[in-house]
Chain A
Amino acid sequence: MTISKLVLIELWKRKSQLITGLLAITLGISVIVAIQSVSIVSEQNVARNLDNLGANILVLPQGASIDDYYTSDIDAPTLPMDYVERILTSTIAGVDNMSPKLTRRVKVGNQSVVLTGILPKSEIASKPLWQSSGLLGTALKTACAPNQSANESHGLEDPKLKRKAIDTLYSNDCLAGSQVAQRLKLSANSKVTIMGKEFKVVKILAETGTVDDDRIFANLKDVQKLLKLENQVSAIEIMGCCNAISEGLLGQLRNILPDTRITTIGQIVSTQIETNQLMKKVTLIMLVIIFFVGGISIGNFIWANVNERKREIGILRMMGAERSVIYKMFLLKAIILGIAGGILGFLLGTLAGVVLGPYLAGILVKPVYLYLLWSVLLSVSISLAGSLIPTYLAAKFDPHNNLQED
């Protein structure tokens, strides 16, 4: 016989009370798990949608403005292509995609168009709206997804390789934005001559509603040769994780690219950060509410149990049980309730998320097994916090008065 065994026997022999005690903590934890299970998928969806807004960091030559970049003036300054390598070979975390670009306004016939040289795969990856064109053929990376695994699912194990641009847009091929295609009457497989060089239009890009609709995209090396700006780019567009941006990504980039102007596309970044913070706040508020409600429920349950067992406490104290034994009796019970409530709450919450997620939120929810650990830890913490005062009072009971009760 041990005190631990006494606690287990008491729990087992009073099953109806055990169920009552478990109910409060289980429901509390299951609500948290269900909300978290649904919200993590929602956050990933939101992050994916936010990433659709495109690159959120621009590396420009020193002295250049964003206007220079968008207007693509003939005299706009450039920066060396080597800077891409600098970023690639650095260990800076949070750079999910890069797209070096050389952009100039040129004449095609009598029409003014913007010719943009790109390294196509990274360009497409950083412009998810083009995914519908089916050029990349892989799932979109979510720069601000709350769980890193969402970013690791492409089979590219080397983090640097993951960021490397790969040349797949062949020389003499080009992509045309929807507006420019309309103006120049271009279609897939038609030809267009730019600065004396003939390009084959391999695809007309879907309308994005951005300046890209008015651009012709060709291989960066072709464009550099045409413009006689070899090894030069106008800008490096970066899709950075918004959390990393808020944690100093820009400063790190400035350290390795000191003679550049690095700026965020403010609205995109602030929207991403605000959305993520809002999701975190909602979860935190729920956590605080459930911590208090769960703690009070468990405290109430333990207090009722203490009152019911006053006489037993008196008997044990009479037999020579120290106050620490009384603490152990009730706190161990709280821990057992916490563990059981955490496990049951996880199972119930996960089940609720998986079953109800598709119906209520229209999203597919998968079990997050890490939540089992968090559920148990949270549940035990709530249970212990709620039990401390009743247990303290139980240990302070006068044994004599409690022995008199019958």
Chain B
Amino acid sequence: MMLQGDKIVKQYNHKGGLINALDHVSFTVEKGDFVTVTGPSGSGKSTLLLSLFGLIRLSSGTVIFDGKRIDDVSDRHLTDIRKKSVGYILQHFALIPYLTTLQNVMMPLALEKIPGTEQLKRAAEILDYVGLSDRMQHLPRELSAGQQQRVAIARSIVHRPQIIMADEPTGNLDPTLSLEILEFLKKINRENKITIMMVTHSPVAAEYGTMKLHLNEGKIVNL
């Protein structure tokens, strides 16, 4: 078991009342799974994705990652888990605009204080893997949307995480580029045995999942 959520609840205050963004959500993800999370807008998909490793604090429930409970650990500990074991891919790519492709990909390694030469070597390898070795010195604004998302994917795997959390990674791309990215994620999942948890609106993208979760009004429902 790689990741388990048990009776996860996330409540928000809204106009004096409480709204359940996540309402007793439970699931289990095994190592190497490609999990897709689908559901209508506002169903709690992104909240689930971002809350599992502490980017949003849960109201209640238990999260176990790699055999250890992580919902009650300190912010510092969760930060350390994200740094070493989790890669994120977001809809809007989330690249640092003034860094080159290469520097963006090196950032997770810099946070781990890996030596510069090793950073360079690994980032260059990964950029070659995602087909961007000829764009290393380009700034994000000089790349197409598909290329920017590939940089984001490279950044998410350069530190060899155990799990990738992808929030609508194809949401900003046309169908052709979307398929390209999805194939890429599938390749990473299969070749590197990295677990992927992907939130998507797209039924096509959802088909890539080996495990499918569907959320509606904060609850997991059977399709």
0 or 1 for each of A324-364: is its CB under 8 Å from B? (1 = yes): 01000000000000000000000000000000000000000
Question: Which residues from B are CB-within-8-Å of A406?
Answer: 92
B50→A1 contact, CB < 8 A: no
Question: Which residues from B are CB-within-8-Å of A323?
Answer: 75
- B36 an interface residue at 8 Å Cβ cutoff? no
- B177 an interface residue at 8 Å Cβ cutoff? no
Question: Which residues from B are CB-within-8-Å of A311?
Answer: 94
A9→B103 contact, CB < 8 A: yes
Binding site for B on A (CB under 8 A): 1-3, 6, 9-10, 13-14, 311-312, 314-323, 325, 399-400, 403, 406
Interface of A is mostly: helix
A1→B109 contact, CB < 8 A: yes
In angstroms, Cα B99 to Cα A6, docked, is: 8
Residue among B95, B98, B112, B155 with max Cβ neighbours from chain A (10 Å): B98
Question: Which residues from A are CB-within-8-Å of B83?
Answer: 319-321
Question: Which residues from A are CB-within-8-Å of B119?
Answer: 1
Q: Return the chain A residue nearest B152 by Cβ.
A: A315
Q: Quick one: which of B68-124 are within 8 Å of A by CB?
A: 75-76, 79-84, 86, 88, 90, 92, 94-99, 103, 106-112, 116, 119
Output the least CB separation between A68 and chain B (Å): 81
**Extra 9 A-B pairs, beta carbons < 8 Å, given A312-B96, A320-B79, A321-B111:** A3-B110, A6-B110, A315-B95, A318-B82, A320-B108, A321-B79, A322-B76, A325-B111, A403-B50
In angstroms, Cα B97 to Cα A6, docked, is: 12
B99→A319 contact, CB < 8 A: no
- B1 an interface residue at 8 Å Cβ cutoff? no
Question: Which residues from A are CB-within-8-Å of B55?
Answer: 317-318, 399-400, 403
0 or 1 for each of B28-65: is its CB under 8 Å from A? (1 = yes): 00000000000000000000001000011000000000
Question: Which residues from B are CB-within-8-Å of A3?
Answer: 110
Output the least CB separation between B157 and chain A (Å): 12
Question: Which residues from A are CB-within-8-Å of B75?
Answer: 323
B79→A317 contact, CB < 8 A: yes
In angstroms, Cα B50 to Cα A403, docked, is: 10
A319→B108 contact, CB < 8 A: yes
Q: Would you give 12 A-B contacts (Cβ < 8 Å), ordered by A?
A: A2-B116, A3-B110, A9-B99, A314-B94, A320-B83, A320-B84, A320-B108, A320-B112, A321-B83, A321-B111, A403-B90, A406-B92
A319→B106 contact, CB < 8 A: no
In angstroms, Cα B95 to Cα A322, docked, is: 18
Output the least CB separation between A398 and chain B (Å): 8
In angstroms, Cα B75 to Cα A322, docked, is: 9
Binding site for A on B (CB under 8 A): 50, 55-56, 75-76, 79-84, 86, 88, 90, 92, 94-99, 103, 106-112, 116, 119, 155
Output the least CB separation between A332 and chain B (Å): 14
Q: Return the chain B residue nearest A320 by Cβ.
A: B83
A319→B50 contact, CB < 8 A: no
B56→A400 contact, CB < 8 A: yes
Q: Return the chain B residue nearest A10 by Cβ.
A: B98
In angstroms, Cα B113 to Cα A320, docked, is: 12
**Candidates A1, A312, A316, A325; contact of B106 at CB < 8 Å:** A1
B94→A1 contact, CB < 8 A: no
Given A1-B106, A400-B50, A403-B90, decide whether A320 and B98 contact each other with a Cβ distance below 8 A: no
**Candidates A2, A9, A319, A400; contact of B82 at CB < 8 Å:** A319
In angstroms, Cα B107 to Cα A403, docked, is: 17
Question: Which residues from B are CB-within-8-Å of A1?
Answer: 103, 106-107, 109-110, 116, 119
Output the least CB separation between B197 and chain A (Å): 15
**Candidates B56, B98, B108; contact of A14 at CB < 8 Å:** B98
A319→B92 contact, CB < 8 A: no
**Candidates A320, A400, A403; contact of B94 at CB < 8 Å:** A403
In angstroms, Cα B86 to Cα A403, docked, is: 16
Question: Which residues from A are CB-within-8-Å of B94?
Answer: 311, 314-315, 318, 403
Question: Which residues from A are CB-within-8-Å of B108?
Answer: 319-320
Output the least CB separation between B23 and chain A (Å): 19
Given A14-B98, A399-B55, decide whether A322 and B79 contact each other with a Cβ distance below 8 A: yes
Output the least CB separation between A345 and chain B (Å): 27
Question: Which residues from B are CB-within-8-Å of A317?
Answer: 55, 79
Question: Which residues from B are CB-within-8-Å of A399?
Answer: 55
Q: Return the chain A residue nearest B47 by Cβ.
A: A400
Question: Which residues from B are CB-within-8-Å of A321?
Answer: 79, 83, 111
Residue among B55, B56, B84, B116 with max Cβ neighbours from chain A (10 Å): B55
Output the least CB separation between B34 and chain A (Å): 21
In angstroms, Cα B85 to Cα A194, docked, is: 106
In angstroms, Cα B75 to Cα A399, docked, is: 12
